[in-house]
Amino acid sequence: MFWASKPSKQQNFTRPFMPAAPDVLRSLRNHLFAALHNSLSDSTPT
């Protein structure tokens, strides 16, 4: 029973980081694409 408490603690420690990582990557990618799109639209004469 003592060994069962260790993996549960480890799971609780690593679980919050897993859902947060995709959100951070998605927002960072969105910022990059927005900046790239803005620079491209600004440089191209319309």
The confidence score (pLDDT) of residue 24 equals 83
The confidence score (pLDDT) of residue 25 equals 85
State the Cα angle at 13 between 23 and 19, rounded to 5°.
15
Rounded CA-CA distance 45/32 in Å is 22
The answer to whether the pTM exceeds 0.85 is no
Residues in the chain predicted with pLDDT less than 50, given as ranges, are 1, 3
The confidence score (pLDDT) of residue 14 equals 53
Rounded CA-CA distance 20/44 in Å is 36
The confidence score (pLDDT) of residue 33 equals 93
Residue type at 19 in one-letter notation: P
